[in-house]
Chain A
């Protein structure tokens, strides 16, 4: 059974640009969550989608957005990149999205903003 797949693994962007990251959840999983991991702030929740609907959003500016497609694949977009957006972005999927059994994480996309 394939795991959670995130593409690309590494990305270098220039300040002011925008970026789109992709996440393919485990087959059958309908909930997809996104997290930002930085050395200073640790793991912070960005947003969660379930059946194409955003159910929860963390405390991030509107430059961070996401969506989920009918096949449960998800993308997140960051517009007008800032140096502080450099981080490891992790995607996680769950079958029920209730957190009861936990979430399976992908290997992440390492974004560097220069």
Chain B
């Protein structure tokens, strides 16, 4: 089955700093790739997605590019805010049928003012 490896946290940044959270995957074929975010005490929210190679997903200033050559889907943001403090998960379908998702371990981001 498919698998995903995500950089461990926590990541601590000052406001307006640049953010990168690394995610690499192993998959059969070219599945859709996702970043989810979880704010304290809440469920998961879809942050962005890419459905094919070289696609760039973007939302709320976050971006991630589907790189099939390096099997990566790194999350980036040019200038983080305190409100971005959360846990970020990289995910992809765990089989070709895509009937469920497999998640990375999650990266905790803490942004201070």
A residues neighboring B (CB under 8 Å): 4, 6, 31, 33, 42-43, 45, 48, 50, 55-56, 58, 90, 92, 97-108
Contacts and interface: CB of A to CB of B under 8 A. Distances in A.
Residue of A50, A58, A98 most packed against chain B (CB within 10 A): A98
Interface residues of B, number: 26
Interface of B: 31-32, 34, 36, 42-46, 49, 51, 89, 92-95, 97-106
Contact of A48 (B34, B51, B92, B100): B100
A42 B45 CA distance: 16
A2 to B, nearest CB: 14
A92 B89 CA distance: 15
Contacts of B49: 101-102
Contacts of B45: 105
A105 B98 contact: no
B31 A99 contact: yes
A55 B99 contact: yes
Nearest to A6: B43
Contacts of A102: 32, 34, 46, 49, 101
B85 to A, nearest CB: 18
A99 B43 contact: no
Contact of A43 (B89, B92, B97, B98): B89
Given A99-B32, A101-B32, A107 B42 contact: yes
